[in-house]
Every structure is written in structure tokens, then in C-alpha cells.
């Protein structure tokens, strides 16, 4: 199923590329890699260890559609906007941190022993706004061009939840709230692979390295329309503190090469 979805996506993206390239749209391709902080049901939400240690990595291929050399697009649009298409992979390791694991009790030890991983294959398109005129930036070696971008992503996630105490699913190894059925699953945890939609907001800047390439600093906030991406989702009718969906923060560096 995932292969069919991937083929369909690339056909939808590729067909416009072919027609656009004939119309004079230039392309920029590159690689962006960096670190991911996963914000999920693991750990105390306002705890620094939770925010900084529940992390991983991401690497992505990007393709930009540059309209600045066309003569049929609005001048303001072609000097400030690009379309960014991306295919990326990330993996994060997760566990509980904060005050709830510090007590010398069985529930605290159950939380402390829990481990999770989340792998994501992302496909997405964003509309990117450049704060500097694109031609002015491209003609100035050593210049910076800050940007902001927003758009949808579709992800295929694989989540796992385990415990160092043994197999999850019984009162000796599993924190009580994760034994309660939730959202059609028999427990508040799930080892599963599924597709999910998300919204992504990127902030960053380019640096003009030479006439045919840029360096890029990219920061992304990604919000998932599901709370199962991390493998945990305690019953929200009972456990109100776990009402938020999963999200991640990405910070990366990249290299972009101009094809035309």
C-alpha cells in the first residue's frame, strides 16, 4: 500500500514539474539534515529533559520550483515565492522524564522502564516566502535571504512501545493508564504503522555560497493530526493531561544546488 501511495504522489508532483520546466521554471535540489525533538505523551511536558532528550535525526531531499525567470507570473509572486517539495526520513528515541519517575514506587518504575521509537517517512509540499527579492539575493554572493514556509505533509509512521521490565500489557510492567482501552485500541499504547497527515511551518535563511549553490539553516514545527505517532495515546476521556496530538521540532543544515 505504501508503495502505491508513493508512486501516486511522485506522479502528481512529477507531471506538473514536466509542464512547468517547459514553461521556464527553474529547479533547485538539495539535501537537508539535522536533529529532531519529538513532543509527545512521553515525559513531563514542561520538563527540559523531556524536551531535549526525546530526540532523533532527520534527513531529507528537497526540490524547489523557482518562478523568478518566468514572464507569465505576477512580479511580486515570482520575486518572493517558491514551491518546496520534500521527501524525508526521521527516527526518534523516546522515554519518560520528569518528576513522575523519581518516586520509589512501582508506577514510577514502570514509567521509567518504558521505551519508544518513532520512524517517519514524510512527503510534503510547501509555499515558501522569501523576505528578499529572489534576483537581488541570487546576484549577491555572501548574502542572506530569510524565509517562511507553510504546507501539508503526509507521513507513514512506525511506532513501537516496549518496557525494560518485560512485555507491556499486564499490571506488573505497564503503568495503569496505558492499560485502559483508547481510541479503538485495546490499550493506551500501540505498536503500529500507519499514514497520518500533518501541517508544517518552516523558518530559516539561505546563504549565497556561489552563483550555483546555497547553504540553508532550516527550522520546522510539524503538527500531526493524530496522537498515535509516538505509540502512546492514553484515553482522553479519562486522562485530560494527554489531550494534545504529537508534534516535532526540527533544526537542520542543508546544501542546495541550482539546476538552471
Give me 29's grid cell: 535540489
CA 248 to chain centre: 6
C-alpha angle 79-200-130 in degrees, rounded to nearest 5: 15
Within-domain flag for 118: yes
Task: Please indicate, yes or no, if residue 150 is contained in any of the structural domains.
Answer: yes
pLDDT digits 0-9 by tens, 97-145: 998 899 899 999 999 999 999 999 999 999 999 999 999 999 999 999 9
**Per-residue model confidence (pLDDT) at position 73:** 76
Residue 2 is assigned to a structural domain of this protein: no
Provide the number of structural domains found in the chain: 1
Predicted local confidence at residue 14, as pLDDT: 47
Examine residue 5 and state whether it is found in any structural domain, yes or no: no
Euclidean distance between CA atoms 151 and 62, whole angstroms: 14
In the prediction, which pLDDT does 65 show?
A: 93
Residue at 135 is within a domain: yes
Give me the pLDDT at residue 4, please. 39
Residue ranges for the chain with pLDDT beneath 50: 1-22
User: Which three cell numbers mark 19?
Assistant: 509542464
Q: Report pTM.
A: 0.86
207 inside domain? yes
Cα Rg, the chain, nearest whole Å: 21
Q: Give residue 18's pLDDT.
A: 43
120 domain residue, yes or no: yes
Question: Rounded CA gap, 134 and 130, in Å?
Answer: 7
Q: Is residue 72 part of a domain?
A: yes
d(CA 236, CA 230): 15
The DSSP bridge pattern shows strands 81-94 and 213-224 to be unpaired
Of the candidates 95, 150, 101, the one whose C-alpha atom is nearest the C-alpha of residue 118 is 95
What are the cell numbers at 176?
Answer: 495503569
The CATH number that applies at residue 125 is: 2.40.160.20
215 closest CA partner among 87, 85, 34, 35? 34
**What is the pLDDT at residue 25?**
84
Domain carrying residue 245? 28-258
Eight-state DSSP code of residue 246: P
What is the model's pLDDT at position 23? Answer: 58
Amino acid at each position: 500500500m505504501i508503495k502505491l501511495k508513493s508512486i501516486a504522489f511522485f506522479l502528481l508532483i512529477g507531471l506538473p514539474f514536466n509542464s512547468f520546466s517547459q514553461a521556464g521554471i527553474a529547479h533547485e535540489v538539495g539535501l537537508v539534515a539535522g536533529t529532531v525533538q519529538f513532543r509527545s505523551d512521553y515525559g513531563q511536558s514542561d520538563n527540559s529533559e523531556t524536551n531535549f532528550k526525546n530526540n532523533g535525526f532527520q534527513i531529507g531531499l528537497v526540490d524547489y520550483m523557482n518562478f523568478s525567470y518566468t514572464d507569465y507570473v505576477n512580479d511580486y509572486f515570482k520575486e518572493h515565492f517558491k514551491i518546496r517539495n520534500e521527501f524525508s526520513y526521521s527516527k526518534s528515541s523516546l522515554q519518560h522524564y520528569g518528576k513522575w519517575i523519581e518516586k520509589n514506587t512501582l508506577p514510577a518504575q514502570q514509567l521509567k522502564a518504558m521505551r519508544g521509537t518513532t520512524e517517519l517517512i514524510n512527503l510534503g509540499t510547501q509555499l515558501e516566502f522569501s523576505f528578499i527579492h529572489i534576483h537581488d539575493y541570487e546576484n549577491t554572493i555572501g548574502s542572506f535571504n530569510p524565509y517562511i514556509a507553510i504546507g501539508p505533509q503526509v507521513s507513514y509512521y512506525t511506532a513501537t512501545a516496549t518496557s525494560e521490565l518485560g512485555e507491556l500489557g499486564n499490571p506488573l510492567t505497564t503503568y495503569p493508564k496505558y492499560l485502559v482501552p483508547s481510541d479503538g485500541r485495546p490499550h493506551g499504547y500501540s505498536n503500529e504503522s500507519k499514514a497520518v497527515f500533518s501541517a508544517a511551518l518552516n523558518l530559516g535563511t539561505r546563504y549565497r555560497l556561489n552563483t550555483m549553490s546555497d547553504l540553508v539553516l532550516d527550522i520546522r514545527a510539524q503538527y500531526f493530526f493524530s496522537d498515535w505517532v509516538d505509540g502512546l495515546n492514553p484515553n482522553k476521556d479519562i486522562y485530560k493531561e494527554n489531550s494534545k496530538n504529537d508534534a516535532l521540532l526540527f533544526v537542520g543544515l542543508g546544501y542546495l544546488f541550482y539546476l538552471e
